[in-house]
A = this chain, B = another copy of it.
Amino acid sequence: MSDWLRTRPAATPAMLAVFGDHATIAHALAFEAALVRAQATEGLVEPAIADAIGAACATLEIDPATLADEAALAGTLAIPLVARLRAACPPDVARWVHVGATSQDVADTALMSQVRAATALLAADVARIGAALAPLADRHATTPAVGRTLLQDALPIGFGVRIAQWMAGIDDAMHGLARDVGAHATVQLGGAAGTRAGLDGKGSTIAAHVARSLGLASAAPWHGRRTGTAAIASSTGIVIGALAKMARDISLLAQNQIGETREPAIAGRGGSSAMAHKRNPTGCQVALAAHYRAPGLVAGILSGLAAEEERGLGGWQAEGPALADLFLLAAGSAAAMAVVAEGLDIDRDAIARNLAAAGIGTDIGESEAIVAALLAATRAPHRQG
């Protein structure tokens, strides 16, 4: 009942691990440990109890498949997880597990922990693309080439403009995602109805402790206010779209009659089961396939914004898998396009030949300045945030 064949080719092993069962369970247990630890810090619980729960969290082993069956029955992951954690604690300690928290606190916090890890992972592959493309944009800033609009030859461009435009789009999108994750990937700690009842009036402080311990920012409870997850989802979808733009262009330029660029030749990649002579744009295929799926995943998450009352029915429960899918697709796409960027095959002769045949002259306007401006923007300090 495994589903490697369905998920693996569109993702990366590292991102699959970020959203895999072991990570989910580890994040959920880390939340429970941090919660009671924060309660101890604030004097609500004996430190020894926090230690004991922390120890149980650190050593508890859970079979994911069994836990998933139990979660399917219960309607939430937290119920069977907390039951097991309590069972793993001494009886007088068990009743201090999960005090003041609700299922959605665990689910949302674990998801946001995964989103942070996923964004960092994604940023690394995206950075590879930028590092590989920048010198190409620079080198070809003034290489005259056919510019194409509406799929027709138009006027000449510096070939590097096209590359710099890919970079600028990907950089802009990744910057937006990092910003949204920074602002919205916060701890969730509201308790059953989002009022932080049961935390002795110290809920805000305890939430801050938990956030710090988990590497998240703190925030007021947001069980029914999903603008943050919607923003993160949209931004991830835009990253996928920006990568697909690069893939679209490369796959068009690689058409045999055009031949201006090709994906790198890599053993075992891009072949055909029926035609040995083919060199398929397989990296672009990954990025374009991701882009067919992403907008609908984003739409699904936006649909959940009108959550019912304090904690809704169905909307936030649908977010987790869809958000995971978006990051999996982004990762698969970024990794694929990093390989493409690092080995991109640019055929100067074909570029020159097509331009000559087009008979549109060689005035590339301000291509050089545009490349410089686009590259400078991707290096701007505000992009670090």
Contacts and interface: CB of A to CB of B under 8 A. Distances in A.
B313 A4 contact: no
B288 A314 contact: yes
A154 B10 contact: no
B154 A313 contact: no
Given A6-B19, A149-B192, A161-B195, 17 more contacts: A1-B16, A4-B21, A7-B68, A7-B321, A9-B68, A9-B77, A102-B273, A151-B313, A152-B256, A152-B279, A156-B195, A157-B310, A168-B220, A169-B225, A234-B302, A289-B318, A298-B298
A101 to B, nearest CB: 7
A351 to B, nearest CB: 12
Contact of A306 (B146, B291, B364): B291
A98 interface: yes
A318 to B, nearest CB: 4
A54 interface: no
Contacts of A274: 98, 101-103, 155, 191-192
Nearest to A100: B274
B278 A152 contact: yes
A286 B270 CA distance: 33
A195 B372 CA distance: 12
A196 B370 contact: yes
A334 interface: no
B1 A227 contact: no
A55 interface: no
A265 to B, nearest CB: 13
Contacts of A312: 150
